[in-house]
Structure 1
Amino acid sequence: MKEIRINTEYITLGKFLKYVNAVDSGAIAKIVISEGEVFVNQEIETRRGRKLRDNDTVSYDGVDYLIRIDNEN
């Protein structure tokens, strides 16, 4: 599982997929999310605006990610 650190309270699912370079664009993120190809906390997630917070997991295309909030602001 890849640990991904962010320095905000949350990140939306669509932005996250672009952030980790899992997709090339927001349009592709919208498609793969709406088609049920992305899992958040082991459940299919179809909302690209889903807020990901500390300790959430995302699975897409055979890769698992763990969200960690970096509170060093």
Structure 2
Amino acid sequence: MEKIEFTVNGEYIELLGLLKATGIAQTGGHAKMIVEDEEVLRNGEVETRKRAKLVPGDVIEVGGEVRIQLK
């Protein structure tokens, strides 16, 4: 599994923004499809809210292939 550390600038980053910023999704539409297909886990739970506010300390897993640690 690929591991990425991502530094949040500000209080939070929205899920769709994170997927685009890390290059997991090429476009906003692609990011939406990833979330709608329930491929995203936030701290071990399926996250279906596209605009979920992610904060430092959250761990995001995408498709069982990528793990993102927010700092």
TM-score (structure 2 length as normaliser): 0.89
Q: Show structure 1 runs of 4+ deviating over 6 A.
A: none
Number of aligned positions between the proteins: 68
Once the two structures are aligned, what percentage of the paired residues are identical? 32
1:19 corresponds in structure 2 to 21
Residues 42-69 of structure 1 show CA distances to partners (whole Å, capped at 9, x for unaligned) of 111111100000100110131101111x
Unaligned runs of 5+ in 2: none
Which of residues 3, 6, 9 is equivalent to 1:4? 6
TM-score (structure 1 length as normaliser): 0.87
Unaligned runs of 5+ in 1: 69-73
Cα offset for 1:6? 2.0
Cα-Cα RMSD:
0.9
| Structure index of larger Rg | 1
